[in-house]
Amino acid sequence: MTAGLRTALTLGGLVAIVLVATLWGWAAFTEPFPEEEAVPICEDTAVTAGTEVRRDQVVVSVFNGSGRSGLAGATDAQLEERGFVSGGIGDSPQPAASTQIWSDDPTNPAVQLVQQQFKGAQVVPGDALGPGVVVVVGEKFQALRKKQVESVVAEADATFCKATGAE
């Protein structure tokens, strides 16, 4: 093989490699970015009777049922300071005179734990306006109880929306 032929074959091979790399790079460059999957804030978890449920496992969504601006946000911040996981805040679709916890299961340990943070909170049937335990703070709400309850023990088998990543 002559030196000229060898040089031509080498250059041809290098050009082919550059073309393949260019095509591969262009295909990778024009490919859409992968969409991020949203991680749920909580997942329904079954607990058996006698299981301890702690504040860091419970997601709470707070809604303002009063005419006072910012009440849901302030209450949510206080609950977060106590170790609860924020599920979100907003305005209640209906006004409330007192604090309400919307749940169809008043014996649920997560509901009981949240209820013990409030003075005179009543568990009433209601829609799931947000993830976790739904709290509607009303006109009469002033502050959380001074005594902080850290956990409750499930009295019966139950299911609650456990915070993602909580042990």
Band the pLDDT of 152: cuts 50, 70, 90.
very high
Whole-angstrom distance, CA of residue 136 vs CA of residue 71: 10
Q: What single-letter amino acid sits at 59? A: V
Q: Are 65 and 96 in contact (CB under 8 A)?
A: yes
Band the pLDDT of 167: cuts 50, 70, 90.
confident
Report the predicted TM-score, pTM, of the whole model to 2 decimal places.
0.76
Q: Where are the alpha helices (DSSP H) in 55-159?
A: 71-81, 109-115
Q: What is the pLDDT of residue 4?
A: 82
Give the start-to-end residue ranges of the domains of the chain.
1-31, 42-163
Whole-angstrom distance, CA of residue 159 vs CA of residue 53: 11
Whole-angstrom distance, CA of residue 127 vs CA of residue 130: 9
Kindly tell me if the per-residue pLDDT of 117 is higher than 90. yes
CA 53 from centre of chain: 17
Q: What is the pLDDT of residue 37?
A: 83
Q: What is the pLDDT of residue 5?
A: 83
Pairing mode, strands 52-54 and 151-153: antiparallel
Q: What is the pLDDT of residue 55?
A: 92
Kindly tell me if the per-residue pLDDT of 99 is higher than 90. yes
Residues 6+ positions from 57 with CB-CB distance below 8 Å: 85, 110, 162, 163, 166, 167
Q: How many CA atoms lie within 13 A of 110 on its CB side?
A: 30
CA-to-CA separations, 67 to 2, 64, 138, in angstroms, rounded: 93, 8, 8
